[in-house]
């Protein structure tokens, strides 16, 4: 299949030059390389070439030609943090929070993650798969071109394996890359409430060998947080994961300055995610590390919490990524277009910074930066074609409006 897109008003996030760079943007997040009045040619799903219209080779033949007059083309969004596999929504807790209960209080009373775990363990693999596939198709239609999905609502060996098998099936059928993270350390199940060591032993001695044995996970995750997994417990889990080749990618500093960022950096995590609660020490720990600070403003929005200090992170030269955190508790939406608006309005990121954060930097937070995240020769032709729009800034500006005409994955 050969695809030619012509008369593109703006082709955004391009990488030019003889040698393709697949860099993570830290230092220069504010500048978005674009070509105006451009064309793009793809073959077998890969970007073959692109340029400005005056350079379009006259002999170029395609099976499909799109006239993109007035429209923009961007790489698809790379959503590096989701909990897309779940059994049921939790709108009752949403109403409890409107009446004043906090997210933490709901969790302490056995709701929250434990509520999702009960429901998940009552639901068949088949049903979970069907529901998750529908959600996946919906987010792809909203521009998501790669996604990470976590376990963490099983909280027992069979439940965790069931979730990871669902994710494996999604990997097999999805038209986009899917990465899996093993998050048994999401909460302590009730029977281990007073026996934390017992649950961590279960994860390490029983679950991990089976997860790794079946090749079910790419990453090791843990919810490092007061009332959940301590720094010491997280360290033990990450070390065990590494023995099985699972690199860390963790939940850190959502509700408190838990030490999660530092322990993530210590174990060379691919990313530390959430980061609502940050200070100087956390930012210093991230400087000079390879760990990507991944911000989840959708969760801060939905829980009405303070937002992540994106400006301080970007001004420190860190390669900030943005991800949806799609899950039934703290962010029941995987819409990356809304996320773009939140990043600009609430985190004070510029449109250019936010686009970097949810394309190439998100790709890097899943180790997919060689394949996705920019318009570059040899990368996947995974593209968002907009409707006619006046400018790039219009995309985050027009929040809630569907400005996507077509998603090509």
Binding-site annotation: residue ranges for N-formimidoyl-L-glutamate: 153, 327, 329
Cβ-based neighbours of 276, under 8 Å, separated by 6 or more: 253, 254, 255, 299, 300, 305, 306, 307, 308
Q: By three-state DSSP, how is residue 65 classified?
A: strand
Binding residues: 81, 83, 90, 153, 186, 251, 254, 325, 327, 329-330
Nearer to ligand NIG, 15 or 160 (CB): 160
Instruction: Out of 135, 251, 379, 380, point to the residue binding ligand NIG (CB under 6 A).
Output: 251
Q: Could you say whether residue 143 binds ligand NIG (CB under 6 A)? A: no
Query: Smallest distance from the beta carbon of 67 to ligand NIG, in angstroms?
Result: 42
Distance, in Å, from the CA atom of 378 to the CA atom of 372, rounded to the nearest integer, reads: 10
- For residue 357, give the 3-state DSSP assignment: helix
Q: Give the x-and-dash track for 31-70 against ligand NIG (CB under 6 A).
A: ----------------------------------------
Least Å from the CB of residue 231 to ligand NIG: 16
The number of residues in the chain equals 409
Note whether 327 binds ligand NIG by CB under 6 A: yes
Q: 211-240: which residues touch ligand NIG (CB under 6 A)?
A: 223
CA distances for 179 relative to 23, 84, 124, 191, 244, angstroms: 20, 12, 22, 30, 16
Min dist. Cβ of residue 150 to Fe ion (A) = 7
Decide: residue 55, CB within 10 A, 0-12 exposed, 13-18 middle, 19+ buried: exposed
Q: Are β-strands 72-75 and 383-386 bridged in parallel, bridged antiparallel, or unpaired?
A: antiparallel
Tell the residue number behind the tokens 């998750």, with chain if given.
132
Candidate list 79, 325, 352, 353; residue touching ligand NIG; CB under 6 A:
325
**Local structure of 324: helix, strand or coil:** coil
Residue 248 engages ligand NIG in binding (rule: CB under 6 A): no
User: Judged by CB under 5 A, which of 233, 325, 353, 367 binds Fe ion?
Assistant: 325
Min dist CB 254 to ligand NIG, Å, is 5
In the complex, least distance from residue 155 CB atom to ligand NIG, rounded to whole angstroms: 11
Binds 366, which of ligand NIG, Fe ion, none (CB < 5 to 8 A, cut-off by type)? Answer: none
Q: Are 400 and 61 in contact (CB under 8 A)?
A: no
Residue 329 lies near ligand NIG (rule: CB under 6 A) = yes
- Of the pair 8, 323, the CB lying nearest Fe ion is at 323
Annotated binding residues for 4-imidazolone-5-propanoate, written as ranges, equal 90, 153, 186, 254, 330
Nearest CB to ligand NIG, comparing residues 160 and 325: 325
Neighbours of 349 (CB within 10 A): 28
CA angle 399, 7, 43 (to 5 degrees): 95
Member of 291, 330, 359, 382 binding ligand NIG (CB under 6 A): 330
Other Cβ atoms less than 10 A from the Cβ of 127: the count is 12
Segment near ligand NIG (CB under 6 A), from 23-31, 111-119, 311-319, 381-389? 111-119
DSSP 8-state assignment for residue 223:
E
Number of Cβ within a 10 Å radius of residue 231: 15
- The residue from 116, 289, 337, 371 that contacts ligand NIG (CB under 6 A) is 116
Closest alpha carbon to 12 in 396, 403, 376:
376
Residues within the interface to ligand NIG (CB under 6 A): 83, 112-113, 116, 223, 251, 254, 299, 325, 327-330
Residues within the interface to Fe ion (CB under 5 A): 325
């Amino acid at each position: 299949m050969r695809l030619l897109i012509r008369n593109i008003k703006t082709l955004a996030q391009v990488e030019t030059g003889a040698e393709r760079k697949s860099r993570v943007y830290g230092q220069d997040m504010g500048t978005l390389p674009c070509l105006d009045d451009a064309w793009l040619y793809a073959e077998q799903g890969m970007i073959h070439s692109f340029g400005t219209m005056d350079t379009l080779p006259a002999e170029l033949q395609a099976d499909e030609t799109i006239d993109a007059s007035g429209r923009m083309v961007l790489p698809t969004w790379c959503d590096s943090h989701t909990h897309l596999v779940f059994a049921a929504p939790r709108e009752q807790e949403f109403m409890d929070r409107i009446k004043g209960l906090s997210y933490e209080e709901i969790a302490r009373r056995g709701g929250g993650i434990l509520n999702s775990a009960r429901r998940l363990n009552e639901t068949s693999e088949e049903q979970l798969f069907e529901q998750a596939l529908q959600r996946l198709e919906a987010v792809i239609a909203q521009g998501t071109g790669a996604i990470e999905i976590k376990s963490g609502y099983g909280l027992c060996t069979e439940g965790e394996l069931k979730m990871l098998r669902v994710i494996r099936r999604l990997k097999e059928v999805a038209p986009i890359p899917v990465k899996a993270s093993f998050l048994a350390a999401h909460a302590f199940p009730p029977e281990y409430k007073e026996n934390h060591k017992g649950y961590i032993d279960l994860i390490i001695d029983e679950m991990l060998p089976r997860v790794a044995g079946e090749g079910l996970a790419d990453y090791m995750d843990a919810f490092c947080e007061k009332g959940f997994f301590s720094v010491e417990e997280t360290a033990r889990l990450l070390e065990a994961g590494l023995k099985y080749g699972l690199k860390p990618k963790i939940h850190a500093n959502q509700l408190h300055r838990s030490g999660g960022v530092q322990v993530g950096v210590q174990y060379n995590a691919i990313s530390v995610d959430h980061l609502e609660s940050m200070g100087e020490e956390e930012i210093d720990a991230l400087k000079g590390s390879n760990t990507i600070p991944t911000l989840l403003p959708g969760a801060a929005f939905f829980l009405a919490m303070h937002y992540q200090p994106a400006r301080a992170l970007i001004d420190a030269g860190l390669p900030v990524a943005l991800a949806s955190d799609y899950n039934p508790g703290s962010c029941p939406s995987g819409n990356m277009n809304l996320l773009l608006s939140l990043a600009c309005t609430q985190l004070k990121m510029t449109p250019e910074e936010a686009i970097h954060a949810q394309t190439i930097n998100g790709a890097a937070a899943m180790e997919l930066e060689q394949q996705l995240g920019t318009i570059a020769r040899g990368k996947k032709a995974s593209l968002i074609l907009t409707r006619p729009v006046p400018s790039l800034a219009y995309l985050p500006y027009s929040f809630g409006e569907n400005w996507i005409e077509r998603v090509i994955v």
